[in-house]
């Protein structure tokens, strides 16, 4: 990667970092630390995905797309954590008062640690996927789109979507169950 590429990143950071933080902060309902982290991760994802290639023509739109994806991932992680805590408490017959799920979750540290470990492994598996495979998987699993809709959105065949999903699911299963890739 040359100086020109890093210069483009530096200019983009100067031009849009504050704007991205503001956007993310509003979406997160005033969580400035998380907004700053996600904005920084936006630029890191761009840098990691670019391999020194020419920047996209509509760079601002591209950065916002990355930021929205990171925001969606953040919400999913937060939602999944909450669902697992509630499910484990329901299984044990607990009736936690409103707003105090974390206090009661302490009754099951091993189960909570196991759940958190599996979630980390799953997130890591998703992050390791090739970009198009990850996109198909997230559209299918979290946006609950049909293969035909994913194919239309991604501009590929239904068979290609099915192949992406097949590979993604196998990869997640291997990673979560501790098998080597």
Place of tokens 């990171």: 70
CATH code for position 139: 1.10.10.10
Q: What is the mean pLDDT of the chain?
A: 78
Could you please report the per-residue DSSP string of 33-69? HHHHHHHHHHHHHHHHHHTTPPPPSSHHHHHHHHHHH
Residue finishing a domain among 107, 136, 153:
107
75 and 19 together in one domain: yes
Q: Are residues 53 and 124 in the same domain?
A: no
Q: Which of 28, 115, 106 is nearest to 67 (CA)?
A: 28
Containing structural domain, residue 58: 1-107
Instruction: Please tell me the predicted confidence (pLDDT) of residue 82.
Output: 46
Q: How many beta carbons lie within 10 A of that of residue 177, not counting itself?
A: 9
pTM listed for this prediction = 0.44
Averaged pLDDT, 14-37: 88
* Same domain as 124, residue 70: no
Question: Based on the domain organization, do 136 and 98 belong to the same domain?
Answer: no
- 142 shares its domain with 84: no
Domains in the chain: how many in total? 2
Token pair recorded at residue 153: 């959105």
What does the block give as tokens for 56? 């996209």
Q: What angle do CA 102, 22, 14 make, to 5 degrees?
A: 125
The rounded distance, in Å, linking the Cα atoms of 176 and 169 is 11
Q: Is the pLDDT of residue 181 over 90?
A: no
Residues 180 and 43: their CA atoms lie apart, in Å, by 30
Token code pair at residue 52 = 């020194």
Whether residues 113 and 149 share a domain: the answer is yes
Q: pLDDT by residue (tens digit) across 132-180?
A: 999 999 888 877 889 999 999 899 999 999 999 999 999 988 888 876 5
121 band by pLDDT with thresholds 50, 70 and 90: confident
Distance of alpha carbon 127 from its chain centroid, rounded? Answer: 7
What's 76's domain CATH number?
1.10.1740
Which whole number is the average pLDDT over 46-71?
82
Give the end of a domain, one of 107, 132, 152.
107
């Amino acid at each position: 990667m040359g100086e020109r590429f890093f210069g483009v990143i530096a200019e983009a950071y100067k031009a849009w970092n504050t704007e991205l933080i503001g956007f993310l902060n509003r979406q997160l309902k005033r969580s400035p630390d998380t907004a700053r982290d996600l904005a920084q991760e936006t630029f890191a994802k761009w840098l990691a995905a670019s391999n020194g290639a020419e920047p996209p023509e509509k760079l601002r739109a591209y950065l916002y797309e990355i930021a929205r994806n990171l925001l969606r991932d953040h919400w999913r992680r937060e939602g999944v954590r909450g669902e697992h805590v509630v499910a484990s408490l329901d299984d044990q017959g607990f009736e936690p008062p409103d707003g105090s799920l974390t206090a009661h979750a302490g009754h099951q540290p091993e189960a909570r640690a196991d759940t958190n470990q599996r979630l980390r492994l799953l997130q890591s598996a998703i992050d390791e996927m090739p970009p198009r495979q990850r996109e198909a998987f997230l559209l299918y699993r979290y946006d609950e789109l049909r293969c035909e809709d994913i194919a239309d959105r991604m501009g590929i065949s239904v068979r290609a979507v099915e192949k992406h999903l097949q590979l993604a699911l196998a990869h997640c299963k291997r990673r979560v169950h501790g098998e080597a890739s």
